Structures are given as structure tokens and as C-alpha cells.
Amino acid sequence: MTTTELNAAIAAGEFTVTTLPARKPRKADLVMSRVGGAKSRFYAATGSGRNGRQQEQRQRLTKIAAAV
């Protein structure tokens, strides 16, 4: 059925159109709690980036502590 045929059927009374009220999104529908900023980014523990630098620093400190 094309749009023209549908509009003609609605005008003739063959179909009734019920408009449902709009509903607000529920909290369960939320996918991300933050949509911007540094906290919403994914950091993989691959040795690069902020997490990698922290991991390397911890390893250096443990080597220094083990040497003393």
C-alpha cells in the first residue's frame, strides 16, 4: 500500500489512526552515563596511554625497591 492509498483509506474512514502519547526514556534505556569528557573514554591496558604509563611507573618502583 502506497502512502497515497493509505491517506485515501484514512480519509474514507477505512482505517482509524490512534496517536499514542510520547513517553520519556527510562533509566533502564540508558546506555552510557557520560557522553563526553575523559572519564567516558576506554583505556586498554596495552602499555600505551595513561594506564600504560601508570603501570610502567609501578614496575619501575618495584624494581628499584627490589634492588635496594
pLDDT tens profile 5-43: 989 998 998 988 888 898 887 777 766 665 666 665 665
The pLDDT, as a whole number, for residue 45 is 55
The pLDDT, as a whole number, for residue 37 is 62
Nearest Cα to Cα of residue 45 among 54, 57, 36, 37: 54
Looking at the predicted structure, is the pLDDT value of residue 4 above 90? yes
pLDDT tens profile 41-66: 665 555 555 666 777 888 888 888 88
Give domain limits for the chain: 37-68
Which amino acid does the sequence have at 6? L
Which amino acid does the sequence have at 67? A
